[in-house]
Chain A
Amino acid sequence: MISGEIALYLFMLAAFTGHEIISRVPVILHTPLMSGSNFVHGIVLVGAMIALGEATTTTQQVIGFIGVFLGAGNAVGGYVVTERMLEMFKSSKKEGAK
């Protein structure tokens, strides 16, 4: 378990990172950003797995099952569509395009 103080630091640093890494956003990058970040929060799958793994009642198992199902859909679907979209991005110049 993480202490409240450390959690707060984590939150601040992560929020800052999220803001920093996409400070300048040309239109062409809206796609990977939108779809890629949609994939990244698929990490919720891990949390749902733990929730299901800790379940002791049938109710919790049902909720956990739904959670894992939804979380896996987010992660897998998010990855597949992002990869498909990014695969198509190409430059007209062979090399050296920034």
Chain B
Amino acid sequence: MDKSALLQHAVHASYFVAAVLFILGIKRMSSPVTARSGIQWAGIGMVVATIATFFHGSILNHPDVIANVVLMVLAIGISTLFAWVSGKKVAMTDMPQMVALYNGMGGGSAAAIGASALIGAATVGSATAPGHHALGTTQIALAVIGALIGSISFTGSLIAFAKLQGWMDKTFRFGGQQVVNGLFFLSAVGLGGALLFHLDTTIVIAFFAVSLLFGVLMTLPIGGADMPVVISLYNAFTGLAVAFEGYVQGNVALIIAGTVVGAAGTLLTRLMAKAMNRSISNVLFSNFGSGGGGSTEIAGSQKPIEAADAASLLYMAEKVIIVPGYGMAVAQAQHKIWELSQQLIKRDKEVKFAIHPVAGRMPGHMNVLLAEAGVPYDLIADMDDINPEFATCDVAIVIGANDVVNPVARTDKSSPIYGMPILDVINARQVIVIKRGKGAGFAGIENALFYADNCRMLYADGQEAANRLIAELKGIDSAGGH
């Protein structure tokens, strides 16, 4: 075997090693104890595969090797600088949009691979240079599918990023929107299909233009509370797009990593949708939350409470469950909430955090914020595990969560959120809701919990409320409580 063939075997072997490291890494990430080493394993795989690629035959044996490698190093250098700096300095509360942004970049990259392959194949006949090898029909089909999915993920994620970053109006709707979107999708599929029969540069360009635009249109009407589903879905999309383009290139690393992420991402997306009791298509294509949804009027009134009284309730309690939601992220109250929890733990109270799967703007958003504040993960409980415990808990504190604790999801068949799994906060002996005003939640539905007899409203900003509760607790101590 000569030297260059050996080198190529080494390159391909390194792709296989990378794929194995990715799988082992993701596996390790499925336990909080080993999670951190998991990402490091996957990181090593990425570095190995990237370095090996510089020695890939189709790069090395190309007449323009110098120019192309210079461009490569330049692109990697600039992008690394941008991604490293932005990733390091972003606040934990802004994580969802950064994950969306990086994910969209991956989708765009997969679409670019497809574009390069298709345009290269379209110019076969007029040129005979090495990059212009003809593609078989299967490869064209796979390149087209990957490019379509990747393009949608690219522009869709950018819109999601813009929305989460607050650059864009939350929702954007017009009459007949679904028809228009449907037409765009069909045109993209039609143009892609046409490429199977007639590979032409103009059609390739039109195909990409329509696909990219469709990603924008599809994401525009989707509101903030649906973002966990959307971000997770586009993550799965990018994975699949990478896998498809991997087939076009015959690259094992792309095929395996892309497919694993596609499968895992699809599972996570379904889990998110299930936690909202909605199908994925319902999230994408129905204008949830705009229909008014004001079903039954709720009898009674919201009963306010002062911080001093709330603090004495906490002082008497033995078991306290805290339910955070997106509002906690907005108020950046996670540190203060943990400080309050520590004060309670110091007084021998049992404190737990209950997290709904779709709380926040991305899967796992609340975990990140609580972890940032220093909350140990063993105090954080799943919905299914914690729900029976509300009945034995003295005080439940709801901060910035709304629809996910609304009991009408269990009781009112006419409610738009009927059937959505919720946290049974209402079963607690006493509920304290920290909230800035009296407004309804994302779904525009009145929350029956706020009107319940065992519920008191502490109207304040999250940080300020926690501060006052801490001060009052200390006040009770110095007044010689017990």
List A residues 64-93 near B (Cβ within 8 Å).
Answer: 64-93
Contacts of A18 in B (CB 8 A): 259-264, 267
Interface size on A, residues (CB 8 A): 83
Q: A63 to chain B: closest CB distance in Å? A: 5
Q: Are A50 and B243 in contact (CB under 8 A)?
A: no
**Chain A interface helix/strand/loop/mixed:** helix
Smallest CB gap from A30: residue in B: B364
- Complex CA gap A20/B176 in Å reads 41
- Complex CA gap A53/B31 in Å reads 39
Q: Mark A1-31, 1 if CB is under 8 A from B, else 0.
A: 1101001001100111111011001111111
Q: B271 to chain A: closest CB distance in Å? A: 6
Q: Are A59 and B263 in contact (CB under 8 A)?
A: no
Q: Are B68 and A21 in contact (CB under 8 A)?
A: no
**Chain B interface helix/strand/loop/mixed:** helix
Q: Are A43 and B79 in contact (CB under 8 A)?
A: no
List B residues 1-50 near A (Cβ within 8 Å).
Answer: 15, 18, 22-23, 25-27, 29-33, 35-36, 38-40, 42-43, 46, 49-50
Interface size on B, residues (CB 8 A): 125
Q: B124 to chain A: closest CB distance in Å? A: 11
B407 CB-CB contact with A under 8 Å: no
Q: B115 to chain A: closest CB distance in Å? A: 5
Q: B125 to chain A: closest CB distance in Å? A: 14
Report if A33-B30 is in contact (Cβ < 8 Å); known contacts: A53-B56, A81-B87.
Answer: yes
- Complex CA gap A2/B248 in Å reads 10
Q: Are B362 and A34 in contact (CB under 8 A)?
A: yes
- Complex CA gap A76/B450 in Å reads 44
- Which of B46, B247, B372 has the most chain A CB atoms inside 10 A of its CB? B46
Contacts of A26 in B (CB 8 A): 382
Contacts of A76 in B (CB 8 A): 79-80, 83-84, 87
Q: B10 to chain A: closest CB distance in Å? A: 15
Report if A11-B46 is in contact (Cβ < 8 Å); known contacts: A38-B99, A51-B113, A98-B33.
Answer: no
Q: Are A53 and B105 in contact (CB under 8 A)?
A: no
Partner of B39, one of A15, A22, A83: A83
From B162-170, B231-239, B426-434, B474-482, the one touching the partner chain is B231-239
Q: A67 to chain B: closest CB distance in Å? A: 3
- Complex CA gap A73/B94 in Å reads 17
- Complex CA gap A31/B98 in Å reads 13
Contacts of B68 in A (CB 8 A): 52-53, 55, 61, 64
B376 CB-CB contact with A under 8 Å: yes
- Complex CA gap A69/B83 in Å reads 10
Contacts of A47 in B (CB 8 A): 109-110, 113, 242, 245-246, 249, 251, 254
B357 CB-CB contact with A under 8 Å: yes
List B residues 88-126 near A (Cβ within 8 Å).
Answer: 88, 90, 92, 95, 98-99, 101-103, 105-106, 108-110, 112-113, 115-117, 119-120, 123
Q: Are B72 and A49 in contact (CB under 8 A)?
A: yes
Contacts of B246 in A (CB 8 A): 47
- Which of A47, A48, A74, A79 has the most chain B CB atoms inside 10 A of its CB? A47
Q: Are B109 and A70 in contact (CB under 8 A)?
A: yes
Q: A40 to chain B: closest CB distance in Å? A: 5
Q: Are B363 and A34 in contact (CB under 8 A)?
A: yes
Q: Are A44 and B106 in contact (CB under 8 A)?
A: yes
- Complex CA gap A86/B105 in Å reads 22
Smallest CB gap from A24: residue in B: B30
Q: Are A66 and B79 in contact (CB under 8 A)?
A: no
Q: Are A70 and B78 in contact (CB under 8 A)?
A: no
Smallest CB gap from A87: residue in B: B36
Q: A12 to chain B: closest CB distance in Å? A: 9
Contacts of A43 in B (CB 8 A): 18, 22, 46, 49, 242, 253-254, 257-258
Report if A21-B253 is in contact (Cβ < 8 Å); known contacts: A51-B113, A67-B109, A81-B98.
Answer: no
B contacts, CB < 8 Å to A: 15, 18, 22-23, 25-27, 29-33, 35-36, 38-40, 42-43, 46, 49-50, 53-54, 56, 58-59, 62, 64-65, 67-69, 71-72, 74-76, 78-80, 82-84, 86-88, 90, 92, 95, 98-99, 101-103, 105-106, 108-110, 112-113, 115-117, 119-120, 123, 127, 129-132, 138, 154, 231-232, 235, 238-239, 241-243, 245-247, 249-265, 267-268, 271, 355, 357, 362-365, 367-368, 371-372, 374, 376-383
Across the A-B interface, the 6 shortest Cβ-Cβ residue pairs = A18-B263, A31-B364, A53-B59, A67-B112, A80-B87, A30-B364
A contacts, CB < 8 Å to B: 1-2, 4, 7, 10-11, 14-19, 21-22, 25-57, 59-61, 63-93, 97-98
10 other A-B residue contacts (CB within 8 Å) besides A14-B260, A45-B76, A61-B71: A10-B256, A33-B30, A44-B241, A46-B50, A48-B112, A50-B56, A51-B249, A68-B75, A89-B371, A90-B377
Identify 11 residue pairs between A and B in the complex whose beta-carbon atoms are under 8 Å apart, listed by A's number.
A30-B357, A31-B364, A41-B239, A51-B112, A56-B62, A59-B119, A71-B106, A74-B106, A76-B83, A76-B87, A89-B35
